[in-house]
Every structure is written in C-alpha cells, then in structure tokens.
C-alpha cells in the first residue's frame, strides 16, 4: 500500500508523513505521471468542441495527484534531503521536464486553447477566467507550441538538458557547502560571542570533530566574519565561502553555468526572442532588460557613493589596528560590526536574548491577527522532521490554512530560507485550503535566539506564507504566489516593515529568561540602525543583479567568470565588496529558471514595498484596517488573477517610484 496514492484521512488532509517511506516516491511519481498523461490525452482527444470547462478547467484538475506527490517530495528534497531523495531528484528532473514538454507540445491540446483564445470575446468569461486562459496560451507559446519539426525537437532537448544541469548545480553547491569546515582551537574563539561559540560547538558535533568549527552555513559564517578578530582565519573562511562551486573536480559549477547560459540563449533564439533576458522579462512587470537596467542604475549611483564613504571609515579603523594596506572583503563585516558598536552601540550579542524564535513567532502571528484577523493554534501532529512545527490558521472560527515552520539549520537542508506550498489554495473541484511551509536556517539553540537579520528573514518568509494562505481564487494556476517574478517579493518584503513598527518589538521582544521588555534605548538604537550599512547591502545586491542581467542579454558568454569580472569592472565595484552571490554558487540564477534575469526583482519589489508601506504611514496607523483590507483584497488574496501593475494600482491608486526605497535605505543622506 503506497501512502502517497491512497486518500489521506488525516486532520486537514495533511500528508501522513509517518506512513510515507522514501521507496514510495518513485512508484508514486510513475503512477501520478501516468494518470496525468491519461487525463491530458482525454482532454485533447475528446470529440466535443472546446469550451472553457472541458479544456481549461479540465486541465486545471488533470495533474491533481502529481501535484499532491510533488508537493510532499520537493519539500522534503529541499528541507530534509537524504542520498535516496537526491538520487530520485536527479532521476525525476528529466522525467518531469519531458512531461511538461509533452503537454505544451500537444498540438491537439494547443489547438483547443488557441481556438478558445481566438474566440475569447464570445465566451462570457469572468476576468479571472480570461486571465487564466491568456496565461495558458502564453505558457504554450513560450514553450514552443508554435514551433514545428526539428526546431520543436531541439527545444525539447534543450529544456530537458537545462533541467538536469539545474539540479546538478544545486547538488554541487550543497556538496561543497557540506564538505568544508574549519576547526577552531579554544584560542580561536577569542572575541566570539557566546551564541557563535555555541553554534560552532554544535556544528563540530555535527561534523564529528571534538572541537568547535566554522561551516559555510550563513548563520555561522556571517557572525564569525563579524566578530572574529583573527584576520587570517576570517580570510580563510571568507575565501572558502566565496569558492563554493568553484573548487575544481566533480562539484565545480563553472562549466555547468557556461553550458546553462549557452542553452538558454539557444532557447530564446528558437522562440524568436532577441535574448534570453527579453524572453524572460516579457511576462514580468518590468517587461524589458532596459527597464531593469534603468531601475538598477538609478539606485546604483547613490548606493556606491554611500558604500565608498563607508569603506573609507572602515579602512581607517583597519589602519588604526596597525594593519597596513587596503580594506579587504573579509574585513568589511568585522569593522562594520565594530563601527556599529561604536556609533550605534548596538551589540548583536546583547540583542539576541530579546529575539527568541518563540517571541518573534508570536510577533509575526500577532501582526497577522491585527491586520487580517488571522488566529494561529499550535497543532500536535507528526511532521517530516522533529524540528518542524505546525499551526492551524483560522479566521472568525473558520479554517484558513495549515502553516508549517521548519526553522533550524541542519546538514540535510539546503541553505537559505524559502516558502513553499505543499498544497495550494483553489476553489475549482471543491474548496482546497493551503498547506504552507516556511523553511529557514537559523542556528539551533536552547532556546533558539535570532539575530535581527534572522527575525527579518522570519517575517519575510511569513509574508510569502500570507500570500499563499490568504489566496482566494478559483484556479490553482494563478493561486497564491503564482504571480510575476518581480511582483512575488512584494508581500514578503512588505511584511518585514511590521518588524520595524516600534510597538511590535515593544510588545514581543522580551528577554527569554527574565521576560523583561527590550530596554527602550536598545529598541531606539535598533530601529535607528535600520539603515546601517545599506550602502554595502545595496552594492553587493546590485552587483549580482547586473551580472545576472548581463549573462542573459545578447550572446551567451563562453566564460561566465570573465563576463562577471567585466561587468563588475565596468560599474567600478568597490574592491572590498563582493557580489552577494558569485556565479559558481548563484543558485537563484542557475539552480533553475526562476530568478534567471530576475534577481533584480527583489529590488523592483522593494521599490513597491517601500511605497506600499507608505500607504499605512499616510493613514497614520501601521495596522489601519481599511488599508489592510485593500492589501488583502488586491494583493494578498488576488494571486495572479490580474496584471501586477493593475493590482498594485488598485491597492495604492498609483504606481510606485524609486524615492521611498532610497529614503528607506538611507541612501539619500549626505555622505
Ligand atoms: Zn522572498
């Protein structure tokens, strides 16, 4: 009996994790793919003339079992990988890609969709239905439905190879992240706050060595670089961090990246686009590479000016320590932390006891309660890992969603933080409520204490979760976060703003031992420090975004590392700041298509989130019920039911400009 294929009678229809074994997945995928193929064939081959119900709505439900199996598997593969799951993921990549191509290459099916689209004005469709039809047709055309013969076959081969390479890129990166660690002597712990020492010791146990270690987990290496006075160790760790995916041998990603870029360029050319970036940006809010570059460069100049001024201050501190020569990238975080202490007197180590994970979870839930009336009740239910926790989400007593939080770093989890839906909201075929997962990589502790950055990440991912949980659409195709890439970060980045509302931290940031509220002056300093080092953060981000854009505009570079160097040279990247993600570990761009020529979208969304939060400020209340209701109606519940610029304009009454972002990041200050 394969638990993935039988009906789930669990509470809220949660996957019965305990009954699912790794060996169930391969046969479940085979069965689900076979079922989906049978449904697609029946839709394409039916005798009846095409109508919206027998074609589009039937397609919406054709892959229900595949969605269910995928929802469980891909969550586990990212959050709790094993060798068996990795092997299966490798096997599945070409199979899933082949299936997707089969659907979009199905000429009879496309014929039905095209007929509907051509006759759309006479179908009496709702706005949502028209949008879904338009997006289906666009998906088919962009997948090559209009191509014939050799060209169609070549496109299928290219896409299939790209899927394999994307998985390989991720797995190489994970292997490099796991393989490297640096043992620390007791003397090497000098200057490190207790929480860094504790996570270094925990990491040592995980790596099977007696003493503490530094690993390449962001939650450990970043504080190590901030606090360790041992410059040689910082350099060693920083360089290892920068070399992920570029260590030579079987896990080197440089050749993988070059092949991916060449194949993407070929794909765009087959489909009739000037470049992969033109192809990729067509369905986005930005629309063109020129619009992206214009936005990035408007932010670049003030950001670089600020970063260069900051670099001069930090370099003077380096020299004051008796070290000659220029400020290096492994020095930035260390001296920046010292400067933060001196100028803002904000001691991360003293701050963390007020930011326990439980307190910050209470804060994120409380904000969602005040804004949208959501309530959260902890569930005692078995999940896929002992560290994962679940809550039932309700409103006025009615079930809304199940929310799962999986917060601690472990070797089996890929790095970073993300939100995924094990099950997405839709109404077609019976109301389906979402099961939404937030995965983070916070250092485990007893209790777990967060940095302020971690707390922002928590709120960020929860903003995505709200976009899924409050989704209120008929069709799964446009549900929740199924929106344009440069629109999808709006809810998440917007939600971060509530962490900066003073009354939120006043209420929730309490010392985990004494329960005391955060001292008022600490809170004030924390909020004032919000714009601290934003020159650095903006520069490292835009560096990555411009390299991503350059990779996909025009001909593919034969040597991506050379291209990367040229782009950074051309913009005059400050020497002490590296790209936030260098090419060999730029998973956003190479692990899949998602953020390729789309990394800019975080900043595009930030322009919007700064402007959107200003709507609450203008109302004089961060929890203004009327603005919150508009936010839910036009953004959080609307999914992709309309063009993003239309949704935004309905919420705000206008399109956003770049000034609120520059102001919010403190980049307009005199330097
Ligand atoms: Zn995000």
Tens-digit pLDDT profile for residues 2-36: 999 999 999 999 999 999 999 999 999 999 999 99
Rounded Cα gap, residues 88 and 297, in angstroms: 43
- Three-class SS state of 539: helix
Rounded Cα gap, residues 368 and 277, in angstroms: 37
Maximum alpha-carbon separation in the chain: 83
Q: For residue 513, how far is its CA from the centre of ligand 1 (angstroms)?
A: 32
Q: For residue 292, how far is its CA from the centre of ligand 1 (angstroms)?
A: 19
Q: Which residues of the chain have pLDDT under 50?
A: none
Q: What's the distance, CA 88 to chain centroid?
A: 23
| Rounded (10°) angle between helices 289-320 and 329-339 | 70
Q: What is the pTM of this model?
A: 0.81
Q: For residue 44, how far is its CA from the centre of ligand 1 (angstroms)?
A: 37
Q: For residue 465, how far is its CA from the centre of ligand 1 (angstroms)?
A: 10
Q: What is the pLDDT of residue 219?
A: 87
**Which 8-state DSSP code applies to residue 182?**
E
CA dihedral (577, 581, 582, 585) positive or negative = positive
Q: For residue 77, how far is its CA from the centre of ligand 1 (angstroms)?
A: 19
Q: For residue 488, how far is its CA from the centre of ligand 1 (angstroms)?
A: 7
Rounded Cα gap, residues 13 and 71, in angstroms: 13
For residue 214, the surrounding DSSP H or E stretch is strand 213-215
Q: For residue 530, how far is its CA from the centre of ligand 1 (angstroms)?
A: 19
* Cβ 343 vs Cβ 522: under 8 Å: no
Cβ neighbors of 128 (< 8 A, separation 6 or more) are: 473, 474, 475, 478, 641
* Cβ 363 vs Cβ 504: under 8 Å: yes
Is 190 tagged catalytic? no
Q: For residue 430, how far is its CA from the centre of ligand 1 (angstroms)?
A: 29
Q: Choosing from 461, 489, 553, 606, which is the catalytic residue?
A: 461
* Cβ 438 vs Cβ 403: under 8 Å: yes
How many DSSP H helices and E strands does the chain contain? 28, 7
* Cβ 577 vs Cβ 333: under 8 Å: no
H helix intervals, 48-193: 52, 58-62, 64-79, 83-104, 107-118, 127-142, 149-179
CB-CB neighbours of 219 under 10 Å: 25
| Rounded (10°) angle between helices 452-469 and 489-499 | 130
Q: For residue 461, how far is its CA from the centre of ligand 1 (angstroms)?
A: 6
Q: For residue 560, how far is its CA from the centre of ligand 1 (angstroms)?
A: 26
Q: What is the pLDDT of residues 363-417, one digit of tens each?
A: 999 999 999 999 999 999 999 999 999 999 999 999 999 999 999 999 899 888 9
Q: For residue 148, how far is its CA from the centre of ligand 1 (angstroms)?
A: 38
Rounded Cα gap, residues 324 and 72, in angstroms: 54
Q: For residue 398, how far is its CA from the centre of ligand 1 (angstroms)?
A: 28
Q: For residue 490, how far is its CA from the centre of ligand 1 (angstroms)?
A: 8
């Amino acid at each position: 009996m394969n638990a993935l294929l039988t009906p789930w009678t669990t509470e809220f229809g949660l996957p019965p994790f305990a009954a699912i074994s790794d060996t169930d997945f391969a046969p479940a995928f085979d069965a689900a793919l076979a079922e989906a193929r049978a449904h697609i064939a029946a839709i394409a081959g039916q005798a009846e003339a095409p109508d919206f119900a027998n074609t589009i709505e039937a397609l919406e439900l054709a892959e229900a079992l595949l969605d269910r199996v995928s929802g469980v598997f891909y969550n586990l593969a990212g959050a709790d990988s094993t060798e068996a799951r990795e092997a299966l993921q490798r096997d599945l990549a070409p199979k899933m890609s082949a299936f997707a191509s089969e659907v979009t290459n199905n000429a009879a099916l496309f014929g039905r969709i095209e007929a509907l689209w051509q006759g759309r004005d006479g179908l009496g469709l709702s706005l949502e239905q028209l949008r879904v039809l338009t997006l289906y047709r666009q998906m088919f055309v962009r997948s090559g439905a209009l191509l014939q013969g050799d060209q169609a076959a070549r496109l299928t081969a290219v896409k299939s190879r790209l899927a394999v390479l994307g998985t390989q890129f991720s797995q190489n990166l994970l292997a490099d992240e796991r393989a490297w660690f640096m043992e620390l002597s007791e003397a090497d712990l000098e200057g490190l706050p207790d929480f860094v020492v504790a996570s270094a010791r925990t990491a040592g146990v995980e790596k099977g060595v007696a003493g503490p270690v530094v690993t390449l987990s962001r939650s450990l290496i970043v504080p190590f670089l901030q606090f360790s006075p041992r410059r040689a160790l910082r350099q060693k760790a920083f360089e290892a961090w920068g070399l992920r995916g570029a260590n030579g041998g079987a896990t080197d990603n440089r050749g993988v990246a070059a092949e991916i870029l060449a194949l993407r360029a070929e794909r765009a050319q087959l489909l009739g686009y000037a470049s992969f970036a033109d192809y990729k940006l067509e369905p986005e809010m930005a629309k063109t590479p020129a619009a992206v570059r214009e936005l990035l460069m408007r932010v670049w100049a003030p950001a670089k000016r600020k970063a260069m001024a900051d670099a001069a201050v930090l370099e003077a501190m380096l020299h004051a320590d008796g070290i000659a020569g220029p400020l290096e990238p492994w020095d930035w975080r260390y001296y920046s932390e010292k400067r933060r202490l001196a100028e803002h007197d904000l001691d991360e180590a003293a701050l963390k006891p007020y930011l326990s994970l439980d307190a910050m979870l209470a804060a994120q839930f409380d904000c969602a309660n005040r804004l949208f009336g959501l309530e959260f009740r902890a569930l005692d239910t078995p999940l896929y890992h002992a560290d994962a926790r679940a809550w039932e989400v309700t409103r006025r007593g009615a079930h809304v969603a199940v929310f799962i939080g999986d917060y601690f770093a472990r070797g089996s989890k890929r790095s970073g933080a993300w939100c995924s839906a094990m099950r997405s909201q839709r109404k077609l075929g019976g109301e389906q409520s979402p099961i939404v997962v937030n995965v983070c990589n916070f250092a485990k502790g007893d209790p777990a204490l967060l940095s302020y950055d971690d707390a922002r990440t928590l709120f960020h991912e929860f903003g995505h979760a709200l976009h899924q949980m409050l989704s209120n659409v008929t069709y799964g195709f446009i549900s929740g976060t199924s929106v344009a890439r440069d629109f999808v970060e709006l809810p998440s980045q917007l939600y971060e703003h509530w962490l900066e509302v003073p009354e939120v931290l006043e209420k929730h940031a309490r010392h985990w031992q004494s329960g005391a509220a955060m001292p008022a002056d600490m809170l004030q300093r924390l909020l004032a420090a919000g714009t601290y080092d934003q020159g650095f953060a903006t520069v490292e981000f835009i560096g990555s975004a411009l390299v991503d854009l350059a990779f996909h505009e025009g001909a593919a570079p034969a040597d991506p590392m050379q291209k990367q160097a040229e782009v950074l040279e051309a913009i005059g990247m400050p020497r002490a700041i590296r790209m936030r993600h260098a090419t060999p570990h730029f998973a956003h761009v190479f692990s899949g298509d998602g953020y390729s020529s789309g990394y800019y979208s975080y900043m595009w969304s930030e322009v919007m989130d700064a402007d959107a939060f200003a709507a609450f400020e203008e109302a004089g209340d961060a929890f203004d019920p009327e603005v919150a209701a508009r936010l839910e109606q036009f953004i959080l519940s609307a999914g992709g039911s309309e063009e993003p610029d239309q949704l935004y304009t309905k919420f705000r009454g206008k399109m956003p400009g770049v000034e609120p972002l520059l102001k919010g990041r403190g980049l307009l200050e005199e330097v």
